[in-house]
Amino acid sequence: MSIEVGLKGRFESVVTQEKTATAVGSGLVPVFATPYMVAMMENAASDSLIPCLAPGESSVGTHLNIAHSSATPVGMKVWAESVVTAVEGRKVTFEVHAYDERGEIGSGVHERFIIHAEKFMAKTQSKLEG
């Protein structure tokens, strides 16, 4: 199956104390942490690609340009949505948005590359050799 413009993804969670800015060290207030919002956006995008990948393939995030525009308190449901906006060879570009139960909390652009997992890991592990 090929990756096509318009492919959508979604990932959802609930804000817990462990997912706050104070818990992860990204701020001093107990609200949904930006690093977790980023992770949700990446999960929405990467999960949407899984059915399109050939055996042995995976994807890696290579670029993310986002804004976190609204704080979310502990206990509230949050989710991220992605949509493929461009496919250029192995590079896949997504528009990403994050929401809580009151509206949009973030948005941006995310890029992923399709990789051959074994080759990618061999190259990565070679860094340990010197």
| Structure confidence at residue 110 (pLDDT) | 98
Catalytic residue among 68, 81, 97, 110: 68
**pTM (predicted TM-score):** 0.95
Residue 68 among the catalytic residues: yes
| Structure confidence at residue 1 (pLDDT) | 62
| Structure confidence at residue 60 (pLDDT) | 98
Write the DSSP symbol of residue 54: P
The rounded distance, in Å, linking the Cα atoms of 26 and 34 is: 7
Catalytic residue among 34, 72, 97, 110: 34
| Structure confidence at residue 55 (pLDDT) | 96
| Structure confidence at residue 50 (pLDDT) | 98
Q: Which residues participate in the annotated binding site for substrate? A: 61, 112
Write the DSSP symbol of residue 73: B
Q: Which residues participate in the annotated binding site? A: 61, 112
Residue 42 among the catalytic residues: yes
Q: What pLDDT, in 10s, does the model give residues 45-74?
A: 999 999 999 999 999 999 999 999 999 999
Residue 34 among the catalytic residues: yes
| Structure confidence at residue 20 (pLDDT) | 98
Beta bridge partners of 93: 86, 111
Catalytic residue among 20, 42, 81, 97: 42
Q: Which residues participate in the annotated binding site for CoA? A: 61
The rounded distance, in Å, linking the Cα atoms of 50 and 112 is: 12
* Collapsed DSSP state (helix, strand, coil) of residue 33: coil
- Sorted by where each starts, the structural domains of the chain and their CATH numbers stand as 8-129 (3.10.129.10)
The rounded distance, in Å, linking the Cα atoms of 37 and 53 is: 25
The rounded distance, in Å, linking the Cα atoms of 85 and 5 is: 5
User: Whose structure tokens read 């995310």?
Assistant: 110
* Collapsed DSSP state (helix, strand, coil) of residue 51: helix
| Structure confidence at residue 8 (pLDDT) | 98
- The list of the chain residues with pLDDT below 70 reads 1
End-to-end Cα separation, the chain, in angstroms: 39
